[in-house]
Amino acid sequence: MKRFKKITTLVFAILLSAGASFAQQSYSLSGPVEMKVSGTSTIHDWDMVAENGVSGQGQMTLENGKLSKINSLSITMNVESLKSGKSAMDKNAYAALNADKHPKITFQLTEVISISAAEVKAKGKMTIAGNSQTVTLTATYQISGNQIKFNGKHDITFSQFSLEAPTAVFGTIKTGDELTLSFQTTFSQKN
C-alpha cells in the first residue's frame, strides 16, 4: 500500500510539472512594434510606418522553448498611427482608408495552418475600412525569455478591400493598387 501511494504521488507530481511546462499563457503586444505599409505611385515608392497606436493579445503555448500552439491572436492598429513623414500624403491615405468611419485596422486569427521550429503559417480575418477578408500570413518567430517576436510580410491590394487607391494633384499622381504589409511585433507573457 505504501508503494502504491508513492507511485501515485510521483505520477501526480510529474503530471503537475508537465502541465506547467506546457500550459497555455496569455501574451500582450509590447516592446518594439513596427507595422509598415509600402506601395508605389506614378512618382515614387512610399512607406507608411506605425510604431505607436498598435495593440494586441494572444493565447499561446510553449513547449521546451518552442512555440507549439496559438489558440488566439488579435492585433488592432489605429489608421492614423500610420505616418509617411509627409502630412499631405498621410491625409490622402486616411481619406482612402475611410479613417473617419473606420479608425482601426484589425487582424483576428482564425486558423493555424502550421508551426515549425521558426515559422508560423496562419489564416485570419483582416479588416480594413470596414471590409473584411481572409488572409494567409507566414511569419518567422523567435523566443527570448518570456517574449515571442514575430516578423513577416503580406501582399494585399486596395481593391481586395473594396477601396480606391489614393490620387493627388487632380489625379495626376496615382497610387498603385498593390500594397505590402510588413510587421515586426513582440508579444510578452502577462504575469
Query: Which DSSP string corresponds to 50-90?
Result: ESSSEEEEEEEEEETTEEEEEEEEEEEEEGGG-B-S-HHHH
Domain residue ranges of the chain, discontinuous segments joined by +? 24-189
Q: Which CATH class is domain 24-189?
A: mainly beta
pLDDT of 122-171, one tens digit each?
A: 999 999 999 999 999 999 999 999 999 999 999 999 999 998 887 777 76
pLDDT-derived band at 8 (thresholds 50, 70, 90) equals: very low
**Could you tell me what percent of the chain has a pLDDT over 70?**
86
Report in angstroms the alpha-carbon separations of 175 from 31, 49, 89, 168, 169: 32, 17, 11, 9, 12
Q: Which of 73, 88, 89, 74 is nearest to 38 (CA)?
A: 89
Number of helices followed by number of strands (H, E) in the chain: 2, 10
In this prediction the pTM is 0.83
Give the pLDDT confidence score for residue 171 in this predicted structure.
67
Higher pLDDT, 34 or 1: 34
